[in-house]
Amino acid sequence: MNRRVVVTGVGLVCACGIGTSEVWPNLLAGKSGIRRVSLFDPTGHDSQIAGEVPGFDPSRWVEKKELKKMGRFIQLAIAAAADAMQMTALEITPEIADRTGVYIGSGIGGFDVIEREHSKLLAGGPGRISPFFIPSAIINLASGYVSIRYGARGPNSATATACSASAHAVGDSFRIIARSDAEVMICGGSEGAITPMCIGGFSAMRALSTRNDEPQRASRPFDAERDGFVVGEGAGVLVLESLEHAERRGATILAEIVGYGMSGDAYHITQPAKQGDGAYRVMKLAIENAAIHADEVGYINAHGTSTPIGDATETTAIKRVFGERARKIPISSTKSMTGHLLGGAGGLEAGIGVLALRDQIVPPTINYEHPDPACDLDYVPNQARRVEFRYALSNSFGFGGTNAALLFKRWEGR
């Protein structure tokens, strides 16, 4: 029999702040973190805006001599993990170390390191490449560094499923605990890919917003004038525990994770399946996994990237799952404020869903100004809303047709 799994810590780092105590109020206030790119000179790029983490100083968490050994995505993951671990107040003692795991995904990993070291190669030959290049860049080193930091010797893994990566990491961690392979999992995702190649590559696909003169109004999911997504950076890390372990140590339980779905579109490398088939099936699977009725879902944190096709397709999929009731479910895309964290998005948004359940308030979709006939649901436009609800669904969809959905339940005790 599967065990119940609860959330006891949430750590958020994104364009809206560093740490859950800063990020959550800013999201509820509808504050955009989108600005002109400062991590490099974006002159000449079609898209010159991004959701950079404001004032991020990794030396707050990592000794300066160690920073050269890790890409920015690792630094962001460490910061979010520290925030989550502070909230959960969990000490990983030798008795629990072997039963505590880490599972942190990323879509791209150390893109900044790859670009930097390639420039060194071109300028000075292979002798100029840093000996720390490989461990600075590979995706599983976010999990590796976090496990070393806390002495977590249980399951250690990483996902690289594009924009579904960290939702898959959370869902897989849920199942690891449910089947008794661990008591605690530190899980989520991170991305630090605001680089010339990343912005240039997505621009070449015509996937990004070019509203450079109005950065804070550029990410506008479901709005009729949306013109593409805005790249964001950051991390979202959750601490999951078996209910028994959390209760034994008197932890504050934020929510329960009750459902997880995975699906593949098997359709196209970048475009969603027609009628949102993959998105429809993954939401349905998460609901079935939780053994609840679709009518019980009271909030959806949408994938909602602000692309013309993606937002309309997700809307169609939601209607297919929920029928007429779809029009009554509050739906928001917090990417309107944070930008799209790519592989880090699912972890960040899972944390947001947990906080929404805890506080019974849902964040808005900002910049929703012009209704789109293809996107005609309740997107909680521009202002947060107090709602009484028991279940929150979080969607993540990635290139290659890889989809994830997570379902959380308000904590009501046993």
CA distance 126 to 131: 11
163 is catalytic: yes
198 is catalytic: no
Q: Which of 14, 168, 340, 375 is catalytic?
A: 340
CA distance 303 to 164: 10
Q: 28: closest CA among 6, 51, 12, 52?
A: 12
- Give me the residue label for tokens 């959960």: 88
Q: In 326-343, which positions are buried (b, 16+ CB within 10 angstroms) versus exposed (e)?
A: beebbbbbbbbbbbbbbb
Q: Which of 14, 163, 187, 198 is catalytic?
A: 163
**Coil, strand or helix: which one is 52?**
coil
Parallel, antiparallel or unpaired: strands 49-50 and 100-105: unpaired
187 is catalytic: no
Q: Which of 14, 168, 187, 303 is catalytic?
A: 303
Parallel, antiparallel or unpaired: strands 234-242 and 17-18: unpaired
CA distance 326 to 317: 10
The answer to whether 337 and 32 are in contact (CB under 8 A) is: yes
Alpha carbon separation from 245 to 238, 250, 337, 412 (Å, rounded): 16, 9, 35, 17
Residue 207's φ and ψ, nearest 5 degrees, are: -95, -15
Q: 325: closest CA among 386, 377, 396?
A: 377
CA distance 367 to 346: 21
Please identify every residue annotated as catalytic: 163, 303, 340
